[in-house]
Amino acid sequence: MISIERYEKTAMVDNIISYINENYMKPISLAQISQNAYLSPIYVSKVFKDATGESPINYLIKLRLSKACELLEDSNGSIKEIARQVGYADAYYFSKLFKKYYGISPVHYRRKKEKT
């Protein structure tokens, strides 16, 4: 039997994931996520990490980068446009994050996908 507390935490995490999935293209901070959930940022981070194994912001980054991969494969938009579409105002920062997570730049990722 699931405890009420565990059920509430699961529901909270599901709500946070829904919020991030619906708003990833907008500027999002932990403070905004917490406000949306009516909870403290520290509590949100702890419960989210316990449930998913990562922080809410790391989840957001991974979601944005996976959406960027789809756009890199399916569109001819510039890196700056794609960065903006997935929530990054700074294309340089976006490219740095992309390279950190995937080991190659967005431009190289696109070229590699065009070849296959």
**What domains does the chain contain, in order, with CATH numbers?**
4-59 (1.10.10), 64-115 (1.10.10.60)
- Closest among 54, 63, 62, 45 to 9, alpha carbons compared: 45
Mean pLDDT value across residues 2-10: 80
User: What share of the chain has pLDDT > 70, as a percent?
Assistant: 98
| Both structure tokens of 26 | 């907008």
pLDDT digits (tens, 9 = 90+) for 71-116: 999 989 999 999 999 999 999 999 999 999 999 999 999 999 888 7
pLDDT (mean) for 8-27: 95
> Exposed, middle or buried: residue 86 (CB in 10 Å: 0-12, 13-18, 19+)?
buried
- The mean of the pLDDT values for the chain is 94
Long-range contacts at 104-108 (CB < 8 A, ≥ 24 apart):
106/68, 106/72, 106/79, 106/82, 107/79
Query: pTM of this prediction?
Result: 0.90
